[in-house]
Amino acid sequence: MSSSTRAQAASPLNLRDENLEELPRRILRSWMAWKSALDANYAAEELDGTAPSGSGLIMFALFDRDGWTINELAARSKVTHVAVLHLIKKLEDARLVKRKQCTEDGRATRVWLTQRGRDLEPRMRALHERNLTTLVRVLGKDDATQLGKLLGRLIQGLGEDSEPMPQAAAKSSKTTRIQR
């Protein structure tokens, strides 16, 4: 039995479709190409080095309303609390936002735009428009919309992780517990 035949036989889903086999690499390559397009769009809007990558999640929420709590930003952005904290730290380092303890609930922290952050709004909105235009130019409006739906399903499915991910063939090793 050849190694590719063994790999196919060992695969729990028995995937033989060439397009499916190529899918993980295509996802990675598309991310790399998209990142390159984002970098070019950041530069075109003169935002490279100003607004950290991924900061739109937080910035657009704050453009709409200042003073969100960290938990509110996480829920609105549909990302983890830790991811929001990481983005906020980058935005603070860039002097685009500031944090203040919540007066109603001393355990919570609210986030506010600085004037420097507020001044970026027109360029951030132009960047968002440029990014959408890039996607629609490459894919067309219908396919771009469909891609958004598919990526949403992928994110939700991977986030839920409802069934265990298949494990690579590994040697099983038994461990013994030391009783005390």
CB 85 within 8 A of CB 48: no
CA atoms within 13 A on the CB side of 168: 1
Question: What are the residue boundaries of the structural domains of the chain, listed by start?
Answer: 17-50+120-155, 53-115
| pLDDT tens digits for range 28-40 | 999 999 999 999 9
| pLDDT tens digits for range 134-175 | 999 999 999 999 999 999 898 888 876 545 555 554 444 444
Q: What is the CATH number of domain 53-115?
A: 1.10.10.10
- Cα dist. 118→62, 73, 98 in Å? 9, 17, 12
